[in-house]
């Protein structure tokens, strides 16, 4: 009887660990984007993706992220210029509402400068994601 009870407990613990791991892996990208740590998938790094709330493209030696975005979207972007650089308002006709904005990630981390100031290298991964404004 005790052996059977131990086996049942072990099976339940293993099942809980597997379920927890599956949940973690499935929910991981959304959590990491909020923290600015979204990992680059090396298998897809060179692939250009254009969606309504997500754009990914690769860097080129000596070119800035803004020019590459314009080239990728055939100039279908709307921007405002500020002293710190260009602020992207709309990509591909998608202008987020007042509570969201287009955020730039550079090699999986939140960009620290405006897109027109971010000089890229071949193989860099640039991602634009619609995110909620933290007030």
Give the tens place of pLDDT for each residue, 17-47.
Answer: 787 666 665 554 443 444 444 444 544 556 7
Q: What is the pTM of this model?
A: 0.65
Higher pLDDT, 135 or 79: 79
CA distance 58 to 40: 11
Residue pair 65/59 in contact by the 8 Å Cβ criterion: yes
Of 30, 26, 28, which Cα lies nearest the Cα of 54?
30
Q: Tell me, what's the pLDDT at 74?
A: 85
CA distance 48 to 116: 19
* Domain range list for the chain: 1-35, 49-132
Higher pLDDT, 88 or 45: 88
Task: Pick one of 3.40.50.720, 2.170.130.30, 3.30.2310.20, 3.40.50.970 as the CATH number of 49-132.
Answer: 2.170.130.30
The size of the chain, in residues, is 135
CA distance 88 to 79: 4
């Amino acid at each position: 009887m005790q052996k059977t009870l131990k086996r049942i407990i072990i099976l339940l613990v293993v099942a809980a660990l597997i379920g927890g791991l599956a949940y973690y892996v499935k929910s991981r990208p959304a959590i990491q984007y909020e923290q600015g740590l979204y990992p680059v998938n090396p298998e897809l790094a060179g692939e250009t993706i254009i969606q309504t709330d997500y754009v990914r493209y690769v860097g080129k030696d000596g070119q800035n992220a803004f020019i590459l975005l314009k080239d990728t979207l055939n100039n279908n972007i709307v921007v405002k210029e500020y002293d710190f650089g260009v602020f992207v308002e709309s990509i591909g006709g998608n202008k987020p509402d007042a509570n969201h904005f287009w955020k730039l990630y550079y090699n999986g981390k939140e960009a620290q400068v405006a897109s027109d100031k971010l000089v890229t290298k071949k193989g860099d991964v640039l991602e634009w994601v619609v995110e909620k404004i933290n007030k």
